Structure 1
Amino acid sequence: MDGPEPRWVQTTVNIDDHAFIPELDPAAIAANPDEVLEEYVASLSTRPMDLSRPLWEIHALDFPTSEAKSAVVFRIHHALGDGTSLVSLLLACTRSAANPAALPIMPAQPTRREGTVYGAQPRPPMSAGPWAFATWIFSIVMLAWHTVVDVALFVAMALQLVRDPRTVFTPAKGVEYRRKRFKLAKMMESGKHNELKWGNRLGYIMLPFEIVMHDDPLDYVRNAKKTVDRKKHSLEAIFTHLDTEMVTKLFGIEVTPL
């Protein structure tokens, strides 16, 4: 990028500006290599990227951890692509350790859920009787009611008609460069290539964050499960997805809610 206003320009890549082999404490590596790796990755989140050169970096950490003989950290600016696209590109550039001629694969997709969807009960057969039909109608009415309430609250918060009270957890400016920790994920197993459709289809649900003192800490879990179960009986995620998609197309990503 060049000038006061960011713009794409053609440049020559100097690999020394992008490939790094950090010098880390050998004693710390010997004592706890997993923690050293986690600390190093966390430290990368505090460093802004240099916008005067291509926005990607490779960090090679040549020491064994509990899960691998060595590690490579890719640090890539979101301007180059979303996470799914970049992971797809990364996988296409690698090969399976078990079979060097084969590409790594993603885990198999779970089978499609059968039965009720969003809490609405399936339509009973004619022989089920009036009570079964009444229960079915009631589930549809509750689904519609929950959807209206959830979508109305989402719109109100997106328009800032309703705001969360400030708490110790309220984010402040500059949080993008505060230290963050990332947990490692195991690589995919090798095997037959799976055809997967990539893309982001994002919807939102509003979940309250409860800040109270309970005598029983498990009350937090019970209340959270109760809220999530209630949210499952709503079409909020579908409506928020459509709303976000429409606003993005009409006005651009800058004014997209949430």
Structure 2
Amino acid sequence: MKKVSLMLLVICTALVLAFGKWHYDKEILKTVEAAQTSNTIEVGTMKSLETKSNSIIDWLQHQSKKKSNVHIAIFGNETARKNGDVTKQGHTLLQNYLHTIHNLSTVSVKNYTYTGYGTQRFVKENKMAELIANKPNLIIVDLPVLENYKQNITLEQTAQDASRILADLKNALPEAIILVQSSAPINSTIKNRLGYSYDRYVETTITAAKNHHLDMVDVYKEMQALQAKNKQDINDIIFNDQHLTAIGHEYWFEIMKKSFVSEKQNI
């Protein structure tokens, strides 16, 4: 009888220990799963921010929390070239606007634009080097197709150079936002010696941005729309056939401002 009781005691003890281990393992599993879920949510949230989600303004505000200075570069064509009163130029208007927004008071906007350069000369002289060395957080690219039109460069060569410029920027600055803009209108509808009008060259900019999956701001069309809406002549926004007037700079700024607050597909 004592042996039976002892055996029952041993069996019961084993069962209790086994149940206890099973319950303990179950609770540990729950804890691990909860931690994994929490970590997934946290990582997902951070990834959303780090991969430049939402609008450009949202992303710039996030960047400013991590860095003392956020640098925006305007690169390429002379749309934002220094003409006249610097306070009325597009890059100054954009910077002043950003400084009114919470956490963006130290954002700087700098021009890396060149006069008389086509896409071939940009690539040959590696005009991307200075920009890349300064590591901007956001690059507004205005591909210099105007000179290609004036110098009778083929559309095929223009497309090839545009793709090369964008690829070099993407590869060298993978953490930066690259926002491609089409060039502003000019006061000419004449075809060049190759039989191409200026707008055909502008189209290569749009195609290059799409091919590289970059966000695009169609300054060319939007500026024309503003001109028509306000019943203005092309000479009200352009002087010397190609440079922006004070009104032209204001239009450029308004177009960029709208782009900065809109949700982006590729940021």
Larger Rg: 2
Q: Taking structure 2 as the reference length, what is the TM-score of the superposition? A: 0.22
What is the TM-score when the length of structure 1 is the normalising length?
0.23
Indicate the structure with greater strand content: 2
